Amino acid sequence: MKRAIAGSLVAICVLLFTTALGLALITITDFPYVTDIGVLKISENTGLTREEILLNYHAVISYLSPFSNAEFTLPTLGYTEKASFHFAECKTLFNEVYLVGLVSGLILAFLAIKKAVSKKTLKLSGIITLLIPILLAVALMTDFDRAFYFFPFDIFCGCNLAV
């Protein structure tokens, strides 16, 4: 039982760390979005130039950065107060993901340096690390709305996603 708990905690730390790392990589590089502009024909569908789309995208990403204290603004697009509020909630969520990812990464580094986790526990942790996203995917595919609102976002970031 002790090994299962330790394996689960390590798995959760791995998932939180990799989620934060993935979010950071996506926001640092604009490759996925640049690719989507062409693939999804965003320019053709919106009437905006590729340069204008990227200018506004980079403004959003810059605002969402944990190192930015700037007010939300878009250089060439209008937006509502509701949109501004939405991005403020996203910024809070992003910052909390980064913070939890940092803490998880530090815990994992500490465990690795101290060699505090046995190979059997690491193997179990690997299995759990794969099972958690699979179970989440099944829940989301079964009933996305119910599964999405099940997550306690209000507790963690004060976000009220049900509005």
Indicate whether 9 belongs to any domain: yes
Does residue 22 sit within a domain? yes
Q: What is the pLDDT of residue 1?
A: 79
Q: CB within 8 A of 122, min separation 6: which ones?
A: 7, 10
pLDDT in tens, the chain (163 residues): 788 888 889 999 999 999 999 999 988 888 888 899 999 999 999 999 999 999 999 999 999 999 999 999 999 999 999 999 999 999 999 999 999 999 999 999 999 999 888 888 888 888 988 998 898 888 778 887 776 666 554 444 445 444 4
Q: Could you tell me if 88 and 158 are in contact, meaning their C-beta atoms sit under 8 angstroms apart? A: no
Residue 69: other Cβ atoms inside 10 A: 7
What is the spatial distance between Cα 65 and Cα 94, in angstroms, rounded to a whole number?
Answer: 8
Domain limits at 138?
2-157
pTM to 2 decimal places: 0.77
Residue 25: how many CB atoms within 10 A of its CB?
11
Q: Is 84 a member of any domain?
A: yes
Does 147 fall in a domain?
Answer: yes
Helices within 29-143 (DSSP H only): 31-39, 42-46, 50-64, 81-114, 119-142
Residue 94 lies in a domain: yes
For residue 162, tell me if it sits in a domain.
no
Is 79 domain-assigned? yes
Look at the chain and report how many structural domains it folds into: 1
- Tell me, yes or no, whether 163 lies in a domain: no
